Amino acid sequence: MTVRTYTASTEREAMRQAMEELGKDALILQIRRQPEAKGLFKMAGRQRVELEACAPETLAALRRPSGGQAQAARAYAAPAPPAPPSEHVRLLEELSRKVEELVRSNQNVAQSLRRGDLPEMPAALQEAYTALLEREVPEPQARRLAQGAYEALRGEELKSPVLVRGQIRQGLERFLKHAGPVTLTPGRCRVVALVGPTGVGKTTTIAKLATHFRHTQRRRVGLVTIDTYRMGAKEQLQQYADLLGIPMRVALTPGELKRAVQEMSDRDLVLVDTAGHSQKELLKLNEVKAFLAAAGPHETHLVLSLGSHPKNLRHVLNVYKALQVNRLLLTKLDEVVAFGSILDVAALSEHPFSYATGGQDVTERVGLADPARLARLVLGEEAA
Ligand SMILES: Nc1nc2c(ncn2[C@@H]2O[C@H](COP(=O)(O)OP(=O)(O)OP(=O)(O)O)[C@@H](O)[C@H]2O)c(=O)[nH]1
Ligand SMILES: [Mg+2]
């Protein structure tokens, strides 16, 4: 470590000396003035300035972690206690800490600037953006939506909360993809499977869909379950089938599932219920995969409980990539107060949404997850 001391009668002169030797980026560590001279010296205006400085590389070397590790390794090889840090080292460490703090605070400022990177963000836009964040829309999405509105509107328009909201709604609707409802063609059997983690509401939603297609659309519906793990799983589905007066089959192997689906080919719709798995039983996903490969469903909906933490939703989306999912079905809307995580899901998956439902009552309607409805939910204009 090269810390140099320069002595001169003025600070300027001491600095000039330091810069001459260490370069113009020399780091000034300390400036000391000698106690005021008494008597003659004072009269003569003489003063001594001591300036301590080091080259900028010295600080960089101090901050390099490998240097620290190497020092630690040396300390281990030679167990003698290290000499107490000199005043210079202490100063350098303090300086280094300050630099870290400065970098951190600059990062924060940069982040805030990025958030507000709309030049002179008008109040209506600022309010809409803040409202999105409050509804748990992920920040990058909120920024993107606000930016979109800013670009679409001009001048006075940007002062209108109604116009700003309208643009944000349009941005949301463009971003959210919809698969449409399960569409049935007379004379053709449509096979639809629901997959997803345990307890998200697969069986409940199957019962809701079966009720809708049986009663509202007057279609011939059949149910098959491959859930033989959970106690009471097939009884739960059988109960719903009995209530609706429709057939229900249990398949223990992929071959059985294939046969069950074939035997129900006279139905307009066959709904396949699957076993959910906790995150610790992911291996069992391969079993579900084998079942689905044998049945060849036309649609496989990944059921996501919106009541889950966004982190869990992300994990589930990732894990279920292993299955041939092609739709996203949202449940437990009734447990949620802010629907921003819908955008998180939409950003992470290329699949369109199918239905969005909330409630334990199987006779209640399964709402379509069309972009207009999802946008209303995200904007807090529709209660689940
Ligand atoms: N609040 C609320 N509860 C729901 C909803 N859907 C299902 N449930 C409840 O969540 C629990 C689990 O529902 P199931 O339909 O059995 O879930 P599952 O995905 O089939 O679960 P596994 O078969 O164990 O994988 C039950 O108590 C349901 O009543 C919903 O939309 N809102
Ligand atoms: Mg179930």
Collect residues with CB below 5 Å from ion ligand 2.
202-203
Report yes or no: 295 and 269 within 8 Å, Cβ to Cβ. Answer: no
- Atom index in ligand 1 nearest the CA of residue 358 equals 31
* Rounded distance between C-alpha atoms, residue 158 and residue 185, angstroms: 47
Distance CA 283, CA 292 (A): 15
Interatomic CA distance for residues 236 and 254, integer angstroms:
21
How far, in Å, from the CA of 376 to the mean position of ligand 2? 29
Q: How many whole angstroms separate alpha carbon 355 and alpha carbon 181?
A: 7
118 within 8 A of 158, measured Cβ to Cβ: no
For the chain, the farthest-separated pair of C-alpha atoms sits apart, in whole angstroms, at 117
- Please report, for residues 210, 216, 246, 286, 294, the alpha-carbon distance to residue 275 in angstroms, rounded to integers and kept in the order given: 18, 27, 21, 12, 16
Ligand 1 pocket member 281 (CB < 6 A):
no
Q: What pTM value is reported for the model?
A: 0.71
Per residue of the chain (384 residues), what is the pLDDT tens digit?
578 888 887 777 888 888 888 887 778 777 777 655 443 333 334 567 788 888 877 666 655 554 444 443 344 444 555 555 577 777 777 777 766 765 555 555 445 545 555 456 789 999 999 999 999 999 999 999 999 999 999 889 999 999 999 999 999 999 999 999 999 999 999 999 999 999 999 999 999 999 999 999 999 999 999 977 777 888 989 999 999 999 999 999 999 999 999 999 999 999 999 988 876 676 788 889 999 999 999 999 999 999 999 999 999 999 998 899 999 999 999 999 999 999 999 999 999 999 999 999 998 889 999 999 999 999 999 877
CB under 8 Å to 337, separation ≥6 — which residues?
none
- Ligand 1 atom 14, closest CA: 201
Ligand 1 near 227 CB (within 6 A): yes
Is the CB of 308 inside a 6 Å radius of any atom of ligand 1? no
Helices 284-295, 254-263: crossing angle, 10 deg rounding = 30
Q: How many CA atoms lie within 13 A of 151 on its CB side?
A: 9
Q: Is the CB of 234 under 6 A from ligand 1?
A: no
Phi then psi for residue 13, to 5 deg, are -65, -40
Q: Output the CA 27–ligand 2 centroid distance in Å.
A: 68
Return d(Cα 310, Cα 337) in angstroms, integer.
Answer: 14
Q: Ligand 1 centre and the CA of 323: distance in Å? A: 21
Q: Of ligand 1's atoms, which has the minimum distance to the CA of residue 303?
A: 19
Residue 214: DSSP 8-state: I
Q: Element (H or E) spanning 118, and its range?
A: none
**Are 159 and 367 spatial neighbours (Cβ–Cβ below 8 Å)?**
no
Query: What is the number of the ligand 1 atom nearest to the C-alpha of 198?
Result: 25
Which atom of ligand 1 approaches the CA of 196 most closely? 19
Let me know if 11 is exposed, middle or buried by CB neighbors in 10 A (0-12, 13-18, 19+). middle
Q: Which of 202, 204, 250 to mutate to test the pocket of ligand 1 (most atoms within 8 A of CB)?
A: 204
Strand order across the 353-356 sheet: 248-250, 221-225, 269-273, 190-195, 299-305, 327-331, 353-356, 367-368
